């Protein structure tokens, strides 16, 4: 009979995600991961596999949380424009520390070996998911007349993905709330 785990795998994964987010894959040593997760090496291997498998699971955990939050913001605001404003101005208003930390998936893309097909595929899949979330919201905006019917929703969804990624990269380099707000205001003109 298998023994019950002496730790919460979801909590350990969230802690691993934080380590990878803070240090990146290469600089996240097994010692640091094990200490932060509060587990033994064998428990890590038995539950998550090796370091790379843990990294992929941490990326998926981050993706799932971020995409769910994004969808919720876009669906809970009174208008689609307000939803995008919440996302863009929310990013602008983050603290210097949050800007410096950036986005785990954007960091994974910049850090990865260009020949790493698994990570590249994961990130491409995430981009498709985010474009789909944005596309759903933009189609809703078209159906309510908030956005002209002739607008290319697919192109606009990609535009918002690129804008947010660019804002994240810019904020990580230099946390400048005013500059980020200017970009947000320009991005929102697609609804005018």
Is 90 exceeded by the pLDDT of residue 122?
yes
Compute the mean pLDDT over every residue in the chain, rounded to the nearest whole number. 94
pLDDT for 185 equals 98
Q: Which residues contact 110 (CB under 8 A, 6 or more apart)?
A: none
Q: What is the pLDDT of residue 49?
A: 95
Give pLDDT tens digits for 130-171.
Answer: 999 999 999 999 999 999 999 999 999 999 999 999 999 999
Is CATH 1.10.357.10 the classification given to domain 58-191?
Answer: yes
Residue 184 Cα to chain centre, angstroms: 18
**Residue 1 scores a pLDDT above 90:** no
């Amino acid at each position: 009979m298998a023994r019950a785990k002496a730790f919460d795998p979801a909590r350990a994964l969230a802690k691993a995600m934080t380590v990878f987010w803070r240090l990146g894959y290469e600089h996240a040593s097994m010692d640091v991961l094990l200490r932060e997760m509060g587990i033994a090496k064998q428990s890590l291997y038995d539950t998550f596999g090796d370091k790379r498998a843990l990294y992929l699971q941490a990326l998926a955990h981050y993706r799932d949380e971020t995409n769910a939050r994004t969808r919720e913001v876009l669906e809970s605001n009174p208008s689609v424009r307000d939803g995008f404003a919440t996302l863009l101005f929310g990013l602008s208003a983050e603290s210097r520390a949050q800007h410096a930390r950036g986005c785990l998936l954007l960091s994974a893309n910049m850090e990865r070996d260009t020949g790493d097909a698994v990570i590249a595929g994961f990130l491409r899949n995430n981009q498709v998911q985010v474009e789909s979330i944005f596309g759903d919201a933009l189609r809703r905006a078209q159906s309510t007349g908030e956005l002209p019917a002739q607008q290319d929703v697919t192109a606009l969804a990609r535009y918002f993905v690129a804008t947010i990624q660019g804002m994240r990269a810019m904020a990580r380099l230099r946390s400048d709330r005013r500059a980020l707000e200017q970009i947000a205001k320009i991005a929102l003109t697609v609804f005018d």
